[in-house]
Structure 1
Amino acid sequence: MTMQQPETMSTTEPPVVTSSGVEVVGSDRYYRDAKGCLIPENLVPAKDRLVDDVVRKIVGYADDISAQVARFKGHTFDDVNTTLDLIADKYGAKLGGSKGNVTLMSIDGTLKVQVAVADQLTFGPELQAAKSLIDECIASWSEGSRDEIRALVNHAFQVDREGKINRTAIFQLRRVQIEDERWQQAMTAIGDAIRVVGSKEYVRFYKRSSATDGWKAVTVDLASA
């Protein structure tokens, strides 16, 4: 169905946007399309209005929950840092490690809060030298040998959709013990390529029924819920 474009409105009265996304001008109701055009409500198919309503309702809830999670995260770090400051004042020592990692637990051993600080890493140009050396190793090894190493190398240097190297697989390569001098040089180059560009704090929550039970994570994000 081809929708007719509304005539240019002569009124200078600004539209009133309702909570449902409908824009009201005088007694007329409009939907604004992706091009910025105002479409009279009666020309918008019912199914499109239904989808619009559902999307606005869901995103509205998501906005509220996102704001609550952000406030909760801020309060959590404030509470943890205040607790650590109080302990430091009392004993003159920090509860966390050198990177700020700390675990707080309830007296009965059934609740646990973990704060971890993880380095954010990137790789310098030395990584390309490492790849060249590794390719030389694979090319010189007898045909059909160490296929698992070849697969691991291909996985490690595969660039993802965001243009990032598989960091975990790169570190797995460094744990492979091979005496070939070129492999050793490649592992040294990988180590030299690592750059720490910042750090990020993570907080995780756990609970269990008793002190002898296994821990269960308390999730606060959609990806893990």
Structure 2
Amino acid sequence: MSTNQTQVPDGYMKNASGHLVPTANIKEQDLLRDQIVTALVPQAIALHKELQAFKRTALSDISDLIQIAADRHGVKMGGKKGNVTLYSYDGRYKVQRNFRELLTFTEELEAAKALIDSCLARWTEGANDNIRVVVSQAFRTNTKGEIKTGKILELMRLEIKDEEWNRAMTALKDALQSTGTAVYVRLYERIDDTDRYRPISLDIASM
């Protein structure tokens, strides 16, 4: 059976360029680093698969519960179902299923930005330039080069009576495009005997 992977002979390791390097010629620090990374990543991949399986099970169980309730009351369910919050009988645990629309911006965003820049030029002429910095922050991209949708939506909520600004907001609305829906499962545990809940984090970065 053929394979695209190069067989690494005993006493050698393959480097990032695909070259075989004698293990005896590799620095001890590089070997230790490789040992830790190659031990951790497979564990993370296994956990990732477990979390994927957990999410599928959770969504399936929640949908089944909703369908059972609908059947009991003679209701026909159609299309995507909405957000729902479930509590354990004793109120100790809470599970939420949330849908969120995924939004992106078309090329019309550039037209809106040009109109906003024109407004800022008028408003800040001879005045404090801080407002320009605040508004420009909304158009900064993240590490993937993507515009932060939430920041743009905050601009659209501002009540500013200016004809050019209103044209810019119309352009922003035209630039908004729905690309689908994301579904989330969030779990919570009640804090002692209070009515507050703490999230059960499944995000390794927040643990």
Aligned counterpart, 2:134: 152
Deviation at 1:165, TM superposition (A): 1.6
SS at match of 2:205: coil
Whichever structure has more helix as a proportion of its residues is 2
Cα-to-partner distance string for 1:139-182 (whole Å, 9 max, x where unaligned): 22253557554223211122333221221111111121111111
| Equivalent AA in structure 1 for residue 72 of structure 2 | K
Aligned counterpart, 1:172: 154
- Consecutive unaligned residues of structure 2, counting only runs of 5 or more, are 1-6
Does residue 71 of structure 1 match 2:29? Answer: no
Larger radius of gyration: 1
Within 1, Cα distance between the matches of 2:25 and 2:145?
44
Cα-to-partner distance string for 1:83-128 (whole Å, 9 max, x where unaligned): 1111111123489x97621111112222111111111111123322
| Equivalent AA in structure 1 for residue 153 of structure 2 | F
RMSD: 2.8
SS at match of 1:158: coil
SS at match of 2:140: coil
Tell me which of 97, 122, 146 is aligned to 1:115.
97
Aligned counterpart, 1:10: none
- Consecutive unaligned residues of structure 1, counting only runs of 5 or more, are 1-16, 18-22
Aligned counterpart, 2:70: 88
TM-score, normalization by structure 1: 0.78
TM-score, normalization by structure 2: 0.84
Q: Which has the higher contact order (CA 8 A, sep 6+)?
A: 2
Shifted more, 128-137 versus 189-198: the winner is: 128-137
Within 2, Cα distance between the matches of 1:162 and 1:221?
20
Aligned counterpart, 1:221: 203
Aligned counterpart, 2:4: none
Tell me which of 13, 34, 43 is aligned to 1:52.
34
Cα-to-partner distance string for 1:44-101 (whole Å, 9 max, x where unaligned): 3333322222211111221221121111111111111111111111123489x97621
Aligned counterpart, 1:143: 125
| Equivalent AA in structure 1 for residue 106 of structure 2 | G
Give the % identical residues: 40
Within 1, Cα distance between the matches of 2:34 and 2:114?
53
